[in-house]
Structure 1
């Protein structure tokens, strides 16, 4: 466990269980130099407890980097609740998690993530104020999609010479809340959409409403397109799949798209521009962080506009240094997190 903490450079790792509700929860706090750790709560099944801890640790590190480059006064953290095989009362489980968060005295603020909802956050909020993306605060997904859309325009300008998306072929892998909202914005901008999702109903909806072309999930990565937008779970780009890509750039909403750091160098060597995931998908974090602080929607929208500017800065450094944008983004974030 300490090896996992050292590898991810975690400040703290908190574990809690509640046999009455079936709660088994992990909270990883990566870095609080810029402010309290903020990060979503995942509610997923894991093959074993070590896998859940590694997931929380890796994601917490990404949240620190995301918050730093988004210019937020927040640190990075992540929570994982291991989904029990049998659950009698979901509300009671999330209330127990809220009590766990409260014991950390504000060092960690939770939010929606994979497998959780605003209703779950409402249950947590019954026992702690250190929670956001509740029903009253709203779903952050549309704001994540807004930021990714702006990032795709910046990526198109950097790689293809124009931010006009008319006629551009964009492959979207994953049509969840963020992926579908992104597809709607791309369709309105005139992009041609290639879409895949394990849920055939979501694909059919995109076909009917957005004129999208359905592609089997296993085939999308190898389908020719201008920009590939991974919007599902992480690790989609690995040693096997990166060689299949037939795109000019990768710019999507998924966290941890690269299975390992060296995949960024492989993309660079192949001439595929990569938008660092924690830069382009930071819109949701910006929304929940600023809403939690009581900022107006006008202020939040203005802050979202900075995503494309930061991405353009990363691309400029990458081009000047002949390095992967992922390496450049890491270096910029680490200067903020570990000064001196």
Structure 2
């Protein structure tokens, strides 16, 4: 990866490489675009095979947050923090407090929150050094998995909108959904779908989660590599990104791809390939925006009920993208990108 070329080509404003020797912190903060407001994006805590992979993840996720906020009508831009987890080590207070001090020096340009690998505990450690953090103890986003539930709720609504578009009915009874990944969001998605009568195929690296899904949702388990090949109405990716790629697209036997994972397309052209193959794609940064909508509601001091109403707007946004794509004969992924760039461009040219 040519790092400077990637930063310039995608219009990043800042990329911070952070090392705090006393605490052992090694992290990256990527701030993509603050045209609409301060950059929002969670703090990811993961082991990476290389430092380059960690940087690429931060860049990719930060850009996705810009698009997610813009398409959802939120007054925020996109950013992301990635803390590199040393093998065999868990989060340590000193490291996250050091990260909090760095975020505080940015003066509100970037606001962090929970993401993969972080919990309320890490957010509380960051909070001890800065106010530019969400999902802390007692907050809306940290209350009873509310953020994960609302992300899943948005995905559920997006699946129903996609079914209506593809089949003329949003009815889930009699439909089969293949869910890849049973983390918090994926598991909550299964719950929403099961209650409406969908048949579920599930896959996860954690056998205990698969076993729970079989018992609770009467799901059928399939292998992690076989999930792509299942005959189903909806393929619902809820794990890591980049899973719609050269290898997997030819395997898909679904009519719709709609799930919670970020950055599902390995490359933008894969959205066009899905379209050419007759597969309807719910753009990931549209359908999985429930979490960031909750974050924005928390910052604005809104209630859980108000946040839920805002999340329900995902269905309307997705329907608008489908109409735009159809009217212009383009893929839904291209339609979403065009509409998002239009909002950003309009904001840049306002006096």
Q: TM-score range by the shorter chain?
A: over 0.9
Asked whether the 8 Å contact 1:31–1:337 carries over to 2, the reply is no
Tell me which of 285, 292, 300 is aligned to 1:285.
292
2-structure distance, mates of 1:218, 1:86: 27
Asked whether the 8 Å contact 1:36–1:107 carries over to 2, the reply is yes
Query: How much does 1:14 deviate?
Result: 1.2
Q: Which residue of 2 aligns with 1:253?
A: 260
Q: Classify the secondary structure of the residue corresponding to 2:229.
A: coil
Query: How much does 1:89 deviate?
Result: 6.2
Tell me which of 93, 96, 99 is aligned to 1:94.
96
Q: Which residue of 2 aligns with 1:79?
A: 81
Q: Which residue of 1 aligns with 2:318?
A: 311
2-structure distance, mates of 1:324, 1:205: 37
TM-score computed with the length of structure 2 as normaliser: 0.95
Q: Which residue of 2 aligns with 1:265?
A: 272
Query: How much does 1:195 deviate?
Result: 0.3
Asked whether the 8 Å contact 2:156–2:192 carries over to 1, the reply is yes
1-structure distance, mates of 2:322, 2:201: 26
Q: Which deviates more from structure 2 when the two are superposed, residues 191-200 or residues 298-307?
A: 298-307
Kindly indicate whether residue 222 of structure 2 is the aligned counterpart of residue 220 of structure 1: no
Q: Which residue of 1 aligns with 2:281?
A: 274
Q: Deviations over 1:221-258 (max 9, x none)?
A: 00100001000000111001000000000000000000
1-structure distance, mates of 2:250, 2:338: 26
Q: Deviations over 1:81-116 (max 9, x none)?
A: 111235486122111111111110000000111111
Query: How much does 1:307 deviate?
Result: 0.3
Kindly indicate whether residue 304 of structure 2 is the aligned counterpart of residue 302 of structure 1: no
Asked whether the 8 Å contact 2:85–2:91 carries over to 1, the reply is no
Q: Which residue of 2 aligns with 1:48?
A: 50
2-structure distance, mates of 1:98, 1:183: 35
Asked whether the 8 Å contact 2:258–2:281 carries over to 1, the reply is yes
Kindly indicate whether residue 321 of structure 2 is the aligned counterpart of residue 321 of structure 1: no
2-structure distance, mates of 1:189, 1:282: 22
Q: Which residue of 1 aligns with 2:135?
A: 133
Q: Which residue of 2 aligns with 1:10?
A: 12
Query: How much does 1:8 deviate?
Result: 2.1
Query: How much does 1:299 deviate?
Result: 1.6
2-structure distance, mates of 1:88, 1:161: 48
1-structure distance, mates of 2:87, 2:258: 35
Kindly indicate whether residue 168 of structure 2 is the aligned counterpart of residue 161 of structure 1: yes
Query: How much does 1:135 deviate?
Result: 2.8
CA, structure 1 residues 89+337, in 2 after alignment: closer, same or farther (shift >3 Å)? Answer: closer
2-structure distance, mates of 1:123, 1:162: 47
Q: Deviations over 1:101-146 (max 9, x none)?
A: 1110000000111111111111111111111112312131111001
CA, structure 1 residues 102+330, in 2 after alignment: closer, same or farther (shift >3 Å)? Answer: same
2-structure distance, mates of 1:96, 1:85: 20
CA, structure 1 residues 316+21, in 2 after alignment: closer, same or farther (shift >3 Å)? Answer: same
Q: Which residue of 2 aligns with 1:181?
A: 188
Q: Classify the secondary structure of the residue corresponding to 2:162.
A: helix
Query: How much does 1:264 deviate?
Result: 0.6
TM-score computed with the length of structure 1 as normaliser: 0.98
Q: Which residue of 1 aligns with 2:201?
A: 194
Q: Which deviates more from structure 2 when the two are superposed, residues 168-177 or residues 87-96?
A: 87-96
Q: Which residue of 2 aligns with 1:70?
A: 72
Asked whether the 8 Å contact 1:22–1:87 carries over to 2, the reply is no
**CA-atom RMSD, angstroms?**
1.2
- Flag structure 2 segments of 5+ consecutive residues without an equivalent: none
2-structure distance, mates of 1:166, 1:94: 46
